Homo-oligomer: A and B are copies of this chain.
Amino acid sequence: MTVSVFRQEHFNAAHRLENANWAQDENAAFFGKCNYPNYHGHNYELIVQVTGEVDPGTGYVMDMKKLSDLIWEKALHKFDHKNLNLDTEEFKTLNPSAENIAVVIHDLLRPHIASANKLKIRLYETPRNFVEYPA
Q: Which residues of A pack against B, CB within 8 Å?
A: 1-10, 12-15, 17, 19, 21-22, 30, 32-34, 36, 38-43, 51-52, 54, 57-61, 64-65, 80-83, 86-87, 94-100, 102-103, 118, 126-135
**Known: A32-B65, A59-B94, A100-B59. Is A42-B3 also a contact (CB below 8 A)?**
no
Contact B8 A127 (CB under 8 A): yes
Cross-chain contact of A126 among B13, B32, B43 (Cβ < 8 A): B43
In the bound complex, CA of A130 to CA of B98 (Å): 23
In the bound complex, CA of A117 to CA of B98 (Å): 18
User: Please, which residues of chain B bring their CB within 8 A of the CB of A21?
Assistant: 57
Contact A58 B12 (CB under 8 A): no
In the bound complex, CA of A64 to CA of B134 (Å): 19
Contact A41 B15 (CB under 8 A): yes
Contact A2 B134 (CB under 8 A): yes
16 contacts across the A-B interface (CB closer than 8 A):
A1-B103, A2-B134, A3-B102, A5-B131, A8-B128, A8-B129, A12-B126, A14-B40, A19-B57, A36-B81, A52-B135, A59-B97, A59-B99, A60-B97, A60-B99, A61-B99
Cross-chain contact of A129 among B7, B30, B94 (Cβ < 8 A): B7
Residue of B nearest to A55 (CB): B99
**Known: A7-B129, A33-B81. Is A14-B2 also a contact (CB below 8 A)?**
no
